[in-house]
Chain A
Amino acid sequence: MPEPRAPPQPKPGNSVDDSPQHAALLGSSPVGLAWPALEQWIRLDAASVDGRLVARTLTSARADGIAGALAGRPVQSVPRLLPQLFPLCGTAHAVAGVAAIEEALGIVASPAELAFRELILLAEHGAALGWRVLMDWAPLIGQPPEAHACGEIRRTAAAVGATASAGAERGHWARIGGTRRRPDRNGLGRTVSEIARRLVDLFPEAADPVLSLGGLERAMQRGASIPARMISGARAGALAEYGRHDRPLLASRTADWFAARLAAEPGFCRAPTLDGIPAEVGPLAAQRHPMVADAVAQWGPTLATRLLAAALDAPVVAQRLQRTLDRLADADPVEVDLARSGCGTGIVETARGPLAYFIEVEGGRAKMLRSVAPTEWNFHPDGPFMAALAAAPRLPDPVLAARLLAASFDPCVPLRIEMAPDDRPPPNAGSAHHA
């Protein structure tokens, strides 16, 4: 079991990120806006060579082995501790963790409990979509982050969880075997309708379910939404061919597939591959909306297609929330024998792709715990993001293009681009020297 590794300290450099737009929201401040010592990030070191961005290395300053560090603890404490370590996507970690434990212990939670978990996962997915569009994408088209609108989506997502949890005890959603739950279906109907409406409003040009890709493209060209402007911009000029790479797409994989790799390959957690080749995960690979396949066929697996796939998650999640609500019912816990031993895997689909947990339980304790998250796939040092940079055509603003590309792969921590100056002499330097 690898020891948890603390992230290295950020180094000063010619850093490019979205700080100015975000910092502007806070105005002048008497206290620091520098990178906090505990900040985590992914760093791309690149050089400008002959007008091109040449990617050198991709390093992650994210702590790893975190979930594994919970090994040895009582198994019932694990699903409760996971969201404390990962509060930004705590539902996904807790649900994946509890699913793995239940499989290891031979427990089958009730259908109503599973529907509840799916509902709160979708609500968290919706909140992540709001962040993606309103906070991450807005600065990339030159407008301020829409923090208030993002907050409204987050508040509604939180209300879905709270309303669905009526009658349940604190910490209920991370309880092995589920718990007694008597959701307020009327109140939940209103809350789910509200978040669904807010999600559809993120990308109103795609609200018509029978729209063709051509129709959507025309609507986006006239549209004013952030996704419409992002995607239309990515369809123009040289960017239209940007974002292609030769790495495979990781379509959905079974729990057994993840279990075999997480159990046998400790390095899989930090640098996962599809049979030795780094692969892409996320909305483009998952193709959750039927129009994504059309876009892949007509536009290719480009930046624009990847952005479209991500934006189309908004109507998809809105629809799934409504459908899951129909399956929600009163729930009761099932019997749990924590003394059993075994192995289990839990996978949840998040906004960025699959989050998988593998656990070995013995004597009531977590003997081994491993996990792999979507960012490890897409930002593998030799993965799809780096491959797409290497295959980039000549672009007018390669640094902005790299930031757009990173946003399309959606890392769960900020990406810092450190640009080294072109170290080659200018084309006429030699003749000038000899003149």
Chain B
Amino acid sequence: MCIAIPAEVVSVDGVSAVVDVYGERFVVSLLAMSEAVEPGDFVALQARYYAVTKIAREEARESRRLLEELFPELVDRARTAGAAAAEAGQ
């Protein structure tokens, strides 16, 4: 089973977007999305490169709270990676 951490859309450029997961930022394709997104929205990612499902903001925040509760080490790792990326200027 594949858990999916909601990624926050930072910017949209045509059919791609930059998303943020605890400070880690990635470019993802929006081609497989079933609905339009804008900055501030949350999406689920599949196969690393694709945003596939829009998640209501309150549900996304609840999901993150749940995952932070269940997997604190995982979330800490993501935050560490995000901080390192920010320091490297990404």
Of the residues B25, B35, B44, B63, contact of A155 by C-beta under 8 Å = B35
B3-A150 in contact (CB<8A): no
A84 — nearest CB in chain B belongs to which residue?
B63
Q: Which A188-228 residues have C-beta < 8 A from chain B?
A: none
Instruction: Please measure, in the bound complex, the distance between the C-alpha atom of A373 and the C-alpha atom of B2, giving whole angstroms.
Output: 10
Number of interface residues of A (CB under 8 A): 52
B34-A151 in contact (CB<8A): yes
A37-B1 in contact (CB<8A): no
Instruction: Please measure, in the bound complex, the distance between the C-alpha atom of A40 and the C-alpha atom of B74, giving whole angstroms.
Output: 11
Q: Which residues of B contact A154 (CB under 8 A)?
A: 32-34, 52
Number of interface residues of B (CB under 8 A): 46
Report the minimum CB–CB distance from A374 to chain B (whole Å). Answer: 9
A151 — nearest CB in chain B belongs to which residue?
B32
Report the minimum CB–CB distance from A393 to chain B (whole Å). Answer: 30
Instruction: Please measure, in the bound complex, the distance between the C-alpha atom of A23 and the C-alpha atom of B26, giving whole angstroms.
Output: 11
B55-A87 in contact (CB<8A): yes
Given contacts A31-B90, A158-B34, contact A66 B62 (CB under 8 A): no
Q: Which B1-26 residues have C-beta < 8 A from chain A?
A: 1-6, 16, 18, 21-22, 24-26
Q: Which residues of B contact A86 (CB under 8 A)?
A: 1-4
Q: Which residues of A contact B52 (CB under 8 A)?
A: 88, 154
Given contacts A36-B26, A87-B44, contact A9 B62 (CB under 8 A): no
A23-B70 in contact (CB<8A): no
B46-A31 in contact (CB<8A): no
B74-A6 in contact (CB<8A): yes
Answer yes or no: A7 CB below 8 A from chain B CBs.
yes
Q: Which A100-138 residues have C-beta < 8 A from chain B?
A: 131, 135-136
Given contacts A6-B73, A7-B74, contact A36 B55 (CB under 8 A): no
Q: Which A381-435 residues have C-beta < 8 A from chain B?
A: 412-414
Annotate A16-38 by CB proximity to B: 1 below 8 A, 0 otherwise.
00010011011101111101111
Given contacts A33-B27, A36-B78, contact A66 B70 (CB under 8 A): yes
A85-B27 in contact (CB<8A): no
A147-B48 in contact (CB<8A): no
Given contacts A23-B49, A135-B47, contact A36 B21 (CB under 8 A): yes
A150 — nearest CB in chain B belongs to which residue?
B32
Query: 16 A-B pairs, CB-CB below 8 angstroms?
Result: A22-B50, A23-B49, A33-B27, A37-B24, A37-B78, A38-B78, A40-B3, A63-B3, A87-B4, A87-B53, A88-B4, A93-B1, A150-B31, A154-B52, A158-B35, A413-B2
Q: Which residues of A does B touch, CB under 8 Å? A: 4, 6-7, 9, 19, 22-23, 25-27, 29-33, 35-40, 62-64, 66-67, 69, 81, 84-89, 93, 131, 135-136, 147-148, 150-151, 154-155, 157-158, 371, 373, 375, 412-414
Q: A4-B70, A84-B62 are in contact. List 7 more A-B contacts (CB 8 A).
A: A25-B49, A31-B25, A62-B1, A62-B2, A84-B55, A135-B32, A150-B32
The 9 closest A-B pairs by CB, nearest first: A147-B31, A37-B81, A87-B44, A6-B74, A158-B34, A84-B63, A29-B27, A155-B34, A37-B78
